[in-house]
């Protein structure tokens, strides 16, 4: 995880029970979750060890801004520095997910071109409304590696018109976690799996969420089992290849 800044503000239905807000509250954060601030990890990929070598070696994959959003407006003054770090570490891979894909065009670095080969961008589509708004924008942008994240999945989502295997490398589905999580219907997951298989797009069911509806019954899944229970469904067709392969 590389979180150069922390904090965010909510913009859509998927943000209602944001885990960042929940964890900040649980740990008694002194600063409100909607106040965006730089962190001590701002330059993490450039950190050196005692021998003056990079602490994180070639081939490291960095998950970027998982306690915020990389395209957040409040981070505009800092983003060029992050792009510079990403340019300097072309021997590593970087990926971020965003609910603000409409901002990517104005946030791209000047040399972005058709996209950086070692950067993957994930577009979050938690319901049909956000799918139909974000996906046309997402597919219109120059990006080398595209991921679609249907999480937290709040309803059945029809992605078929957007599932071009030449543009989308993976669709990942997950439920919402936390005490007040909205339930995930397993039938929605099966339907998304069928859409992806039909289109030839790799599929990943990455977590069940706290409440899973299956065969008309609702089950509570403890946090520590949400990823493993999703894996046991046997639906995943993704290869987990490294970005840039």
**Domain residue ranges of the chain, discontinuous segments joined by +:** 5-232
Position 242 scores a pLDDT of 63
Position 239 scores a pLDDT of 75
The residue ranges of the chain whose pLDDT is under 50 are none
**In the chain, where do the E strands start and end?**
5-6, 37-38, 61-63, 93-98, 119-124, 145-150, 168-174, 184-185, 203-207, 211-214, 217-220
Position 240 scores a pLDDT of 61
Position 68 scores a pLDDT of 98
Termini Cα distance of the chain: 21
Position 131 scores a pLDDT of 98
Q: pTM for the whole thing?
A: 0.95
């Amino acid at each position: 995880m590389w979180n150069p800044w922390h904090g965010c503000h909510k913009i859509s239905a998927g943000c209602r029970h944001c885990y960042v807000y929940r964890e900040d509250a649980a740990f008694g954060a002194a600063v409100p979750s909607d106040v965006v601030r730089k962190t001590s990890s701002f330059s993490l990929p450039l950190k050196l060890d005692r021998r003056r070598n990079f602490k994180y070696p070639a081939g490291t994959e960095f998950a970027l801004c998982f306690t915020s959003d990389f395209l957040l407006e409040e981070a505009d003054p800092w983003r060029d520095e992050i792009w510079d770090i990403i340019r300097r570490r072309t021997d590593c891979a970087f990926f971020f997910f965003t609910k603000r894909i409409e901002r990517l065009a104005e946030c791209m670095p000047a040399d972005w071109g058709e996209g950086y080969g070692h950067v993957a961008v994930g577009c979050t589509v938690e319901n049909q409304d956000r799918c139909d708004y974000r996906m046309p924008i997402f597919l219109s942008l120059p990006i080398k590696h595209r991921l679609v994240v249907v999480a937290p999945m709040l309803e059945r989502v029809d992605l078929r018109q957007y599932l071009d295997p030449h543009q989308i490398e993976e669709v990942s589905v997950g439920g919402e976690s936390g005490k007040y999580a909205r339930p995930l219907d397993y039938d929605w997951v099966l339907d998304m799996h069928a859409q992806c298989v039909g289109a030839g797009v790799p599929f990943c069911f990455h977590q069940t969420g706290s409440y899973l509806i299956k065969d008309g019954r609702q089950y509570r899944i403890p946090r520590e089992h949400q990823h493993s229970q999703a894996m046991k469904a046997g639906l995943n067709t993704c290869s987990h290849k490294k970005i840039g392969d």
